[in-house]
Amino acid sequence: MQLPNPETLLAEITAKIQTQLEINGAPNTALVGIHSGGVWLMQRILASTKQDVAHGMLDAALYRDDYAQRGLKTEPKPSNIAFDVTDKHIILIDDIFYTGRTTRAAMNELFDYGRPASITLAVLINRGGAELPIVPNIVGANIVLKPNQDLQLTQDAGGKLLLSLQKASHV
Amino acid sequence: MYNPQLDNDGNLKHLLTIEGLPKKILTQILDTAETFVGVAERDIKKVPLLRGKTVCNIFFENSTRTRTTFEIAAKRLSADVINLNVGTSSQSKGETILDTVDNLIAMHADMFVVRHGQSGAAHFIAQHVPDNISVINAGDGRHAHPTQGLLDVFTVRRYKPDMHNLRVALVGDVLHSRVARSEIHALTTLGVPEVRVIAPKTLLPAGVEKLGVQVFHDMKAGLKDVDVIMMLRLQNERMTGALLPSAQEYFKTFGLTPEKLSYAKPDAIVMHPGPMNRGVEIDSSVADGSQSVILPQVTYGIAVRMAVMAILAGGNA
């Protein structure tokens, strides 16, 4: 299967986020990346907007609904939201949208910091398979994958984004 | 080797002592604790990890500070907490430890935090409980106090991240301290090359050198060029017989004063597990001084206890 070039997709969602920034006003907007892929994307987007936008990062591990089954297997990374969430238009950024459970967890965590004016979800790829009534607002590409396929975003030493498709280990 | 703290896959099942814990698990606890430090700084100081779980603090021996920090840690994870001061309840009516524990199991407790005056008590309870229940040792006799050891190491790592280049000195009553052994094990496991103990001969256990430490009986020599000074509390309530001439005499020789602190590196940090005996093991101007990290230790203690509970409670379903 031919995977899209993530760098092209990033340019597309960056343009859409730029529009969003203009609509809401940069001072009222904040970018929040979800570890790890969403944080890489957020940093790239911040660099290209050339604007001073509030930003932070979340690891929704402590809010996941499958914690009782899976535990904290991979080491969670600290969340860092150093701005006042209340009344901000939050653009939540993740790499791959799948079941929607990570988004649900991230939204719950965000609300523990304050009451945002709105939350927009931006993702590089929507791979289909949502298990919750959550749909990303800004999408780089839609790809339909089987449950036994695992799509991963990685970053090479030079910061270049790469997509790879593997057989899922957990299915 | 069988380790009752780990399950068959090598994951943490109970936390009884730092001895024998692999470096991987120690690092996992410290890294997880990093994520909890920030939780306390938010508007809503709670995460939903232990929602619907019941944590029982069973304290056969009094320790307000340890019990309080475990209680806060459990509550910040959204657990329900029950505090039992067994010393003042059923045990005084003649109930055995295991009967007390069985009653709590029948009430569907999920986790026990155990403090007991006898070494091995938490271990004994861990062997008795069913698979779905985890036990955390909150101090057993002279044996171990693993979360205190972990929070001390966490504090060291936060202030001095390069643990492979550190000189750490433990000062004071090593003989009666359950923290000292935990700390020595954790520090050496995480790669600290030089751990010293400084104490009068009467307050050192026999064969302390076997733990891989250097022994000093003089503060000037022992504190020279150290990065971290961990003061130990003079355990008056555990002291039997005349091990020391007097508290004043002890302070003169081993109390941490600004002058003695000056032998250490200028950026050395001063730690103390509390409660402090000011004017006995530490001078007030040092305890409240700029090199003291005694209060951050308390704050980090909650994050470390949250991490231990979160790791134990996950992956059991």
DSSP string, chain A: -PPPPHHHHHHHHHHHHHHHHHHH-GGGEEEEEETTHHHHHHHHHHHHH-S--EEEEE-GGGG-TTHHHH-S-SPPPPPB--S--TT-EEEEEEEEESSSHHHHHHHHHHHTT---SEEEEEEEEE-S---SS---SEEEEE----TTEEEEEEE-TTS-EEEEEEE-S--
Residue B170 binned pLDDT confidence (cut-offs 50, 70, 90)? very high
Among B43-47, B137-141, B237-241, the range scoring the smallest mean pLDDT is: B237-241
Rounded mean pLDDT, A45-64: 91
Output the pLDDT for position B317: 40
Rounded mean pLDDT, B43-61: 91
Find the helix packing angle between B23-37 and B146-159, rounded to 10°: 70
Output the pLDDT for position A155: 93
Rounded mean pLDDT, A5-24: 95
As a whole number of angstroms, the distance between CA B228 and CA B268 comes to 5
Rounded mean pLDDT, B220-242: 83
Residue A60 phi, psi (nearest 5)? -80, 10
H/E/C letters for each residue in A79-102?
A: CECCCCCCCCEEEEEEEEECCCHH
As a whole number of angstroms, the distance between CA B40 and CA B185 comes to 28
Determine the residue among B47, B76, B309 to mutate to test chain A binding: the one whose Cβ has the most chain A Cβ atoms within 10 Å: B47
Structure tokens at A92: 């939540």
Name chain A contacts of B303, Cβ cutoff 8 Å.
Answer: none
Q: Do B310 and A78 touch (CB under 8 A)?
A: no
Name chain B contacts of A109, Cβ cutoff 8 Å.
Answer: 47
Q: Is residue A123's pLDDT more than 60?
A: yes
Rounded mean pLDDT, B268-285: 93
Query: Which residues have C-beta within 8 Å of that of residue A168, sequence separation ≥ 6?
Result: A147, A148, A149, A150
Rounded mean pLDDT, B8-37: 92
As a whole number of angstroms, the distance between CA B19 and CA B186 comes to 8
Name chain B contacts of A71, Cβ cutoff 8 Å.
Answer: 11, 311, 313-316
Instruction: Name every residue in A having a CB less than 8 A away from some CB of B.
Output: 59, 61-63, 67-73, 75-81, 108-109, 112-114
Rounded mean pLDDT, A67-87: 82
Chain centroid offset of residue B79 CA: 22
Helix (H, G, I), strand (E, B) or coil at B49: coil
Q: Do A68 and B34 touch (CB under 8 A)?
A: no
CA of B85 vs chain A CAs: smallest distance (Å): 29
Q: Is B3 exposed, middle or buried (0-12, 13-18, 19+ CB in 10 A)?
A: middle
Which chain A residue lies closest to B24 (C-alpha atoms)? A75
Helix (H, G, I), strand (E, B) or coil at B65: helix
Q: Is residue A38's pLDDT more than 60?
A: yes
Which chain A residue lies closest to B31 (C-alpha atoms)? A75
Contact pairs from chain A to chain B, CB under 8 Å: 60
As a whole number of angstroms, the distance between CA B158 and CA B164 comes to 14
Does any CB of chain A come closer than 8 Å to the CB of residue B49?
yes
* Percent of residues, chain B, with pLDDT higher than 90: 66
Q: Do B311 and A62 touch (CB under 8 A)?
A: no
Residue bearing the bigger pLDDT, B219 or A171: B219
Rounded mean pLDDT, B30-44: 89
Q: Is residue B270's pLDDT more than 90?
A: yes
Rounded mean pLDDT, B171-194: 90
Q: Is residue B224's pLDDT more than 60?
A: yes
Structure tokens at B3: 């380790």
DSSP 8-state symbol, B269? E
Count Cβ atoms below 10 Å from residue B119 Cβ, excluding itself. Answer: 13
Structure tokens at B123: 């271990």
Residue B96 binned pLDDT confidence (cut-offs 50, 70, 90)? confident
ipTM above 0.95, yes or no: no
As a whole number of angstroms, the distance between CA B74 and CA B4 comes to 23
Helix (H, G, I), strand (E, B) or coil at B114: strand
Q: Is residue A20's pLDDT more than 50?
A: yes
Output the pLDDT for position B242: 62
| Number of residues written out for chain B | 317
Rounded mean pLDDT, B40-48: 87
Residue A168 binned pLDDT confidence (cut-offs 50, 70, 90)? confident
As a whole number of angstroms, the distance between CA B230 and CA B148 comes to 12
Does any CB of chain A come closer than 8 Å to the CB of residue B130?
no
Residue bearing the bigger pLDDT, B180 or B136: B136
Q: Which of A73-77, A160-164, B59-63 has the highest mean pLDDT?
A: A160-164
Query: Which residues have C-beta within 8 Å of that of residue B259, sequence separation ≥ 6?
Result: none
